[in-house]
A and B are shown apart, each in its own frame.
Chain A
Amino acid sequence: MAQLGFYINQSLCIGCKACTVSCKDKNNLDVGINFRRVYTYEEGTYVQQPSSGIVHNLKAFYFSIACNHCTQPKCIPSCPVGAISKNKENGVVTIDQDVCQGTQLCVKACPYGAPQYNKKVFKSDKCDFCIDLQEKGENPVCVSTCPMSAIEFGPIKKLRKKYGNVSQIKGMPSDSITHPNIVITPHKDAKLSGS
């Protein structure tokens, strides 16, 4: 099986966070732990006209992100006990809960904030691409949840062929660091020059 990845159609994201909460429901995650997260970006201001009207140049967008199951994941080398691994067949990166010692070094290493530390059990964990559901032939829960159908998944090569190569938008770390397996259709306000 080829490297799996996510596709995010950011131009459709309404910021509802159904993806975040369905992931919590599926993985029994406490408040504070979010394997999938939705970020907001907003900028712009108003100018009061002498004639008493107001003009503005506001821009805003949402962005949903989980683990990108990177080609060069920085979490793996960061772990001093070898709890994190990348599946050779599908490229899914997982943290073995039996091995994790809770050093939180992966949390610091990941430029995307994917690993989440659980203070109750002193361990980190993250999106495992709902590999258990995939084995049953189901979609990852965020994919089957999104009310806008803005999240897809599959072999990253296929996704790139279908949707292009954008894997970085305004506000995101450079995609050259870890080579994330994500494809994004950016919101009109989120485009980087060249993307």
Chain B
Amino acid sequence: MSEKNHLKNLLTNKMQRRTFLKWSGAIGIPVIAGGIGTKMLVDRKEEPKVLNAKEKEKIISTCSINNCGGRCVIKAHVKDGVVVRVSTDTQETGDLSTPPLRACVRGRNYRSLLYHSDRLKYPMKRVGKRGEGKFKRISWEEAIETIASEVKRIGDQYGPESRYVNYASGQSWGLHGGKNAARKLLSVTGGFLNYRNDYSSGAGNVATPYTYGTNNSGSSFDTLLHSKYIILWGQNPSEMIFSTPYREYLMQAKKNGAKIIVIDPRYTDTVIAFADEWIPILPTTDNALMDAMGYVIITENLHDQAFLDKYCIGFDGDHMPDGVPKEESLKSYLLGEKDGVAKTPEWAEKICQIPADKIRELAREYAKTKPAALIQGWSAQRQAYGEQFMRGGAQLACLTGNVGKIGGWAAGTGYWSRSEIVYPFSYENPVKASIPCFLWTKAVENGTEMTAADGLEGTEKLSSNIKLIFNMAGNMLINQHSDINKTVKLLEDESKVEFIVVSDLFMTPSAKFADILLPGTTFFERYDIGVPWCFGDYVVFGDKTIDPLYECRDEYDVFADVADKLGLKEKFTEGRTTLDLVKESVERTKKELDPSFPTFDEFRRKGVHHFKYDAPLVGFKEQIDDLENHPFETPTGKIELLSKTLWDMNNHDEIPAIAKYIPAWEGPEDPLKEKFPLQLISWHYKRRCHSTYDNQPWLEEAAKQEMWMNPKDAEKRSINNGERVQVNNERGSLFIDVKVTPRIIPGVVGIPQGAWYTPDKEGLDQRGSVNVLTSQRPTPLAKANPQLTNLVEVKKFEE
């Protein structure tokens, strides 16, 4: 263990030091040294230039706006138009209604990002083969002219459904980012093919509403202060930031005496700081554990029968929707009444490797300790049958009656938000057709053949494959989509997608596939407002701290010029600059949504606005308090443990009506395991926000790109810590250094997601970009990304 060795070195140093001291002591000089040093320190204080520097430095508060789930305060210390360092929220901890919004390690690197020498500096056009990465500098005039004429040509030739703005997450998140600007540009010029859903919680977003009628199944984090037992299932808030203050609340919950359990294939940093216990589990087998917990809970009579009777459909034969046989109930399934297989802890142990006694203990503790919060991360729903994970968690919350109660948690996707602002930059897309965002490669290859079974909505049939892609500050085009090798081949073919516009800060793997490549701005260089993803009670002002570097421009301004070229500037901007948009958002929010919202000047001065509420938000409290007047938004008005809608889809093996364990393709029960014996997962790494910051040296030093492997698996392959290995499956091959660590369960390897695809001459990735190995086979119901479901083999790299 490389890092453990550091501590060992400290011990070794001690020995060296003793030997050394004898020697240095003999020289005998130190006494005078102290005097000189002190004097120098005093003298330095009096240097006039230091005083000048103090006078000049301005501190401008802004906000990190990208696809991090949190929003933190970034204070730029600006001197002579240069950011000389950054600091963060200095508010003290303690008042949980205004938690400090301190930046994490990524935020502390922002100055390095801003001034990185590899920033894209001027617009460019492709000169080599697409994807080769050869570009030539052009003028902004030429870039705008080319985009305008291609937008028009492709729209005229193939129709608006041929034009697509790819799912993107880079600097796209504010009021007017690249994605929004591109969508509005295409809207005012005839429209574009829509996408639905995302890569973060794709399966969960579709599945959770089948249970609860909505994805807003979470509660505000302050409710955790009432929880006595918290299960974090596949969730890692130490590294992955859902909302900046979440950890603060979790810490308070722990102080309040809540017992915290983490279920995860890895002993994560969350385990280290928060957990009383870590329960390792094999990826894709979560529902086997859930089923067995359910079995224990009902056979030991620990379930909340009154809750199930009143609020739920499908628990037992007496509460079934019309048209579904009684033996299809959840209870019947768990007891094995139909298939003869009781879902006992012993049954589950063989699948998920958690000892049966531990499953019993977990089930009993969760069911008996009230209130208990089962909070699900989005990792396990990024698996082959990810839909089952989200519905399975919700099912446990219902069995134990933890829904709608303070300190409980309804599980499922868990969205909640109390940071509403007005988004004044709006557009209406004349095209109504949409595809699941994960299937964009399919819509390039054979979009016109897609049907409702592929998740096509809003039309019977598309009139064209995708012919034009706007990829704004996003790395889904190559890096973050599954099966990189397959996508590379698809995009290299210029007869398929005919024109690709990319805007970014750096030459990412996706940027290499641009036909026109635009240099974007960072949040330091523009005005905006930062709103956390969907969790949190605050918004942060994004002030412009310096003028854009080089020839970089906001996408909003670029597309305003493109619209101008097409005679539609007024329609695009409605006469507003980005600063006008921010001002309008603040003014309208105050007027239309929240009278306590600060004025523009106040907001700018304070930097942050915390929305304050009289009571915590408890998911589904209204429904539980008064079901008659507040039914769930499901077809039956109740929580649907069994969904008739899913039943009617008549694909019971892959899309069951109740949540259940389904052995995954490329899971531990797949015969392919003979050839590729290790399950490969990935996770959100502390040093990156998805793929953003992968090229940042300070962050690479802080957290290297390396694959975690258990010592047992390493030993079998004669692999030592720190050695380079080749990881293979039928889709690809990558090279990466290995961290041999017991912090991952045997049989599983983990590669932090988001490293930039870096092929050598043979096309083999040299950086450990995990999507070389992931699959484009979508989840059955949501058509979402299954990127945490992969089988691989690992071998030592031999030169």
Contacts from A to B (Cβ < 8 Å): 11-18, 20-22, 24-26, 31-32, 34, 37, 39-46, 48-49, 51-56, 58, 60-63, 74, 76-88, 94-96, 98-99, 105, 108-113, 131-132, 135-136, 139, 141, 144-149, 171-174, 177, 187
Contact = CB atoms under 8 A, between A and B. Distances in A.
A62 B108 CA distance: 19
A14 B742 contact: no
Given A42-B742, A79-B33, A21 B9 contact: no
Given A17-B702, A42-B4, A54-B355, A111 B17 contact: yes
Given A42-B1, A82-B36, 16 more contacts: A16-B105, A16-B269, A17-B105, A25-B85, A39-B7, A51-B349, A51-B350, A56-B742, A77-B21, A78-B20, A81-B29, A113-B9, A131-B41, A173-B14, A177-B17, A187-B272
Majority-rule SS of B interface residues: helix
A92 to B, nearest CB: 8
B496 interface: no
| Chain B, interface residues (CB within 8 Å), range | 35 or more
A174 B86 CA distance: 36
Interface stretch (B693-701, B729-737, B749-757, B765-773): B693-701
A25 B112 contact: yes
B36 A58 contact: no
Contact of A82 (B3, B24, B33): B33
A84 B33 contact: yes
Contacts of A12: 251, 273
B703 interface: yes
A19 to B, nearest CB: 9
Contact of B355 (A53, A63, A108, A135): A53
Given A39-B7, A51-B356, A145 B273 contact: no
B23 to A, nearest CB: 9
A148 to B, nearest CB: 7
Contacts of A55: 355, 358
Central interface residue in A12, A21, A145, by most chain B CB within 10 Å = A21
Contacts of B27: 80
Given A39-B6, A141-B87, A145-B108, A77 B25 contact: yes
Nearest to B86: A25
A116 to B, nearest CB: 13
A181 to B, nearest CB: 16
B33 to A, nearest CB: 3
B9 A17 contact: no
Contact of B29 (A13, A17, A82, A131): A82
Contact of B273 (A14, A24, A174): A14
Contacts of A20: 105, 702
Contacts of A21: 105, 108-109, 698-699, 702
A98 B192 CA distance: 63
Contacts of A60: 267, 271-272, 743
B238 interface: yes
Given A17-B702, A52-B350, A87 B38 contact: yes
Nearest to B107: A18
A54 B280 contact: yes
B102 A76 contact: no
Contacts of A136: 54
B741 interface: yes
Contacts of B105: 16-18, 20-21
A96 B33 CA distance: 10
B13 interface: yes
Contact of A16 (B17, B238, B698): B238
A37 B103 CA distance: 18
B783 interface: no
Nearest to B103: A18
A146 B6 contact: no
A42 B743 contact: yes
A132 B272 CA distance: 34
Central interface residue in A13, A32, A40, A49, by most chain B CB within 10 Å = A40
B90 interface: yes
B40 A99 contact: yes
Contacts of B267: 42, 58, 60
A24 B700 CA distance: 13
Contacts of B697: 31
B295 interface: no
B546 interface: no
B21 A109 contact: yes
B282 to A, nearest CB: 9
Nearest to A44: B742
Contact of B17 (A13, A56, A74): A74
Given A53-B349, A174-B14, A46 B742 contact: yes
B698 A31 contact: yes
Contacts of B711: 45
Contacts of A187: 272
Nearest to B72: A147
B93 interface: yes
B10 interface: yes
Contact of B30 (A82, A145, A177): A82
A85 B38 CA distance: 6
A108 B13 contact: yes
Nearest to A86: B34
B624 interface: no
Contact of B45 (A111, A135, A171): A135
Interface in B693-722: 697-703, 710-712
B20 A105 contact: yes
B20 A96 contact: no
A160 B5 CA distance: 30
Contacts of A32: 701
Interface in B5-59: 6-11, 13-14, 16-17, 20-21, 24-25, 27-30, 32-38, 40-41, 45, 50, 54
Given A15-B269, A46-B712, A145-B102, A85 B247 contact: no
A54 B686 contact: no
Nearest to A23: B108
Given A84-B37, A110-B17, A53 B354 contact: yes
A98 B37 CA distance: 10
Which 4 A/B pairs are nearest by Cβ-Cβ distance? Answer: A85-B37, A82-B33, A53-B355, A171-B7
